[in-house]
Amino acid sequence: MSLDPIVDLIGTIYEAVADPAHWTGALTKLSDFCAVENAALVVVDGRAQYSSVITPRANPAVVEAYMNDWWEFDPTAAGAATIAPGELITLDRVGRRDFTSSAFYNDFWKRSGLGAERLSANLFLRNGVFSNLVIQPSVSRDYISEKASEGFSHVLPHMIRAVALASKLREFEMYGGVFDQPRGGGYAGLLVVDEDLRVRYADAEAEYLLASPSGLGISAGRLRLRDGHRDIRLRSLVRNCVDPVSSAAGGIRMRLDTPDSEGALSIDVVPCGVDVFRTVSGFPAQTGALAVVRFRRVLAGRQARIEALQSRFGLTKAEAALTVEILKGDGREAAGQRCGISLNTVRTHLSRVFDKVQVNRQAELVRVISDFLNSPYDGLH
């Protein structure tokens, strides 16, 4: 077997990891390499009623009909969805008689321009979703040759690896907007979870928090609170949040008193707001509704508030301390006395605080700072 065609094919497969537009070229080259009529890349999620097909040499009208209606009636799909990734799947293995006697074959596939035979393999199986790579002969040469099978087997490990990489890359693209949100005061980490609290993504702060004695943990890939009652409450909050009806309010909050010295955590749960089925060009990095779980240190102490203002608005320690005192509402002079500074210094500090917070009056400053310190979501919507 010549190495040049397979090297070219494998190169195109890995190019498709970064640019999904290359999948069409990769599948075309796979068809030629295996000397078959067509190659297809299929993703099916029956729970979400979703199917995606990339198949460059099939009749576009046939592809459209398959994606819109017929994919649900393919009698081989259920059997294929149970076979481990990387194992070769023939028509005999998933039920030749059931296939050739089905309405799918007789009312649809016979008019597709492709033969009944096929050789396929799953590329991933996850949470009820499967991706399948398949090669298909023409009607006039309706068989899979030994050479075609050998070529398919050589390429298959690279397809599995490429799809895994593409899925991970799409996750970064999908979740990037979530993690770009303002962090706000007391920020302690952020996770993306599904309705069963399986952790799909975590930032560095959340990973640190999960590894510390904070009352949080991961069990079998799922977020858990060590307090049983609060764990039940969190599961309920997440499920309500991802539900399209009950999540209309936009977010829910609970408090977790942690055993470490850093104080209590507040936990905010809001919808992720990502269309996971259509974002990922054939490879859903995650299926089902998602929620953002965000952790904040409760800013009850004076020092915690000062640090939060320094982090959020770029205030110096002295400016932040004065701002905290101003919030008490008994005037600039009293605030300055508690900070041990003169009234002139108070005016100087406040002028700089106004610039950094982008306000013009003290009343406006009090409103903005109060909203920031007391907001359940700190800008996360």
66 and 22 in one domain?
yes
Mean pLDDT of the 43-59 span: 76
56 and 202 in one domain?
no
Q: What is the distance of C-alpha 55 from the center of its chain?
A: 26
In this predicted structure, what is the pLDDT of residue 176? 61
Mean pLDDT of the 49-55 span: 77
pTM: 0.57
Express as a percent the part of the chain with pLDDT over 70.
Answer: 79
Ranges 34-38, 62-66, 294-298, 373-377, most confident: 34-38
- pLDDT averaged over the chain? 81
CATH assignment at residue 288 = 3.30.450.20
Q: Classify residue 379: in a domain, yes or no.
A: no
223 and 86 in one domain?
no
Over the stretch 98-147, which tens digit does the pLDDT of each residue have?
Answer: 999 999 999 999 999 999 999 999 998 876 677 899 999 999 999 999 99
Q: Classify residue 340: in a domain, yes or no.
A: yes
Q: Tokens at residue 30, please?
A: 């796979």
Mean pLDDT of the 340-356 span: 93
Over the stretch 215-270, which tens digit does the pLDDT of each residue have?
Answer: 788 888 788 888 888 888 888 888 887 765 554 444 555 655 554 445 567 788 87
20 and 85 in one domain?
yes
The C-alpha atoms of residue 301 and residue 324 are separated, in whole angstroms, by 11
126 and 76 in one domain?
yes
User: Which neighbouring-strand residues pair with 256?
Assistant: 265
Over the stretch 276-290, which tens digit does the pLDDT of each residue have?
Answer: 433 334 454 444 567
Give 353-362 contacts, CB < 8 A, sequence gap 24+: 353/313, 353/315, 353/319, 353/322, 353/323, 356/313, 356/314, 356/315, 356/319, 357/313, 362/326, 362/332
CB 264 within 8 A of CB 256: yes
202 and 186 in one domain?
yes
Domain that holds residue 276: 181-297
- 168-172, 230-234, 271-275, 326-330: range with lowest mean pLDDT: 271-275
Q: Which of the listed residues 275, 297, 319 is the one where a domain comes to its end?
A: 297
Of residues 175 and 367, more confidence is placed in 367
Domain count, the chain: 3
Q: Classify residue 381: in a domain, yes or no.
A: no
Of residues 168 and 288, more confidence is placed in 168
| Per-residue confidence band for 31, with pLDDT thresholds at 50, 70 and 90 | very high
Q: Which of the listed residues 175, 195, 218 is the one where a domain comes to its end?
A: 175
Of residues 292 and 109, more confidence is placed in 109
Q: Which of the listed residues 297, 322, 349 is the one where a domain comes to its end?
A: 297
